[in-house]
Amino acid sequence: MTALATTSLPCKDFLSLDEFEAEHLELIFDVAAKLKAGRDEYTDLLRGKRLAMIFEKDSLRTRFTFDIGMTDMGGTAVFLDHRDARLGSRESVKDMARNLERWVDVIVARTYKQRAIEELAANCEIPVINGLSDHSHPCQALTDYFTLTEKFGDLKGKTLCYVGDGNNTCHSLMVAGTKLGVNVVVCTPEGYEPDPEVTAQCATWARQSGGSITVTPSVDEAVKGAHVIYTDVWASMGQEDEIEERAAIFNDYQVDEEMMELADPGAYFLHCLPAHRGAEVSAGVMDGPQSIVYDNAENRLHVQKAIMALLLGAWN
């Protein structure tokens, strides 16, 4: 294995992937692989450490994998349910941050607004991890590419085609992919493209890494020859009143067997979950041989363990 270019992360927090270079992402992959292979070797890695989980949105994978991950490494986790009272509504974010830093060692927050996570991080000395916001989903995207390194090895030159809404997951896939030298193609109906500022920044990173970024409404153009087809729900949490409207607009963007046939013969299918069979993906693709969604869901545990271990300085 090639020697890693770095052994530490460049910042206190894990709020988005913008602040990380390819070498930092590869470091997380390396640590995640070691933690995955040697669960019984690292049971004391975070002994005595405490994790606070602040969630404004429902969660299965993020909540369970952070909780189990901290426990696996010898620490403890406490869940703060803010679904009925958003972060900052009962008590200022600043005061919450100042209190929590006295009791715990790391915070993961799953919020509606990116600025809430950023405010939390700005007001405490302990690490804050973005468990999902309206702008990005960095833990998910990092896990996606970690899973793909297990399948492909080197990702440079591979093409990942994201089909669907240009949402938070899409943004993080674009950022991580263009830093890792992946050809990222976003296929979405007109008017639902990713944030143009994110696209522009990703174009710069792609030029530096040898990857590329393409945004197009054409399914045939986007999917042809792709090594990975990725999709997400058409209406995210907080967009429930748009479900019917979006279903009509995105109808031609369902990932089905016909679409997968346009991709590379060895292409994989990914979905960040939860999935809606018969909407953004057909049951045949979701449950078919090209689907690696459950391998990916498992890897959320290992990648997030790596993020916590590195942020808390426990890995050397």
User: Which residues are tagged catalytic?
Assistant: 110, 137, 140, 232, 272, 300
184: left (phi over 0), alpha (psi -120 to 50) or beta: beta
Burial of residue 270 (CB within 10 Å: 0-12, 13-18, 19+) is buried
Two tokens, residue 175: 């950022």
Query: How far apart, in whole angstroms, are the C-alpha atoms of residue 132 and residue 111?
Result: 6
Q: What angle do CA 43, 129, 35 make, to 5 degrees?
A: 30
CB neighbourhood size of 291 (10 A): 20
| Residue with token string 């919020």 | 111
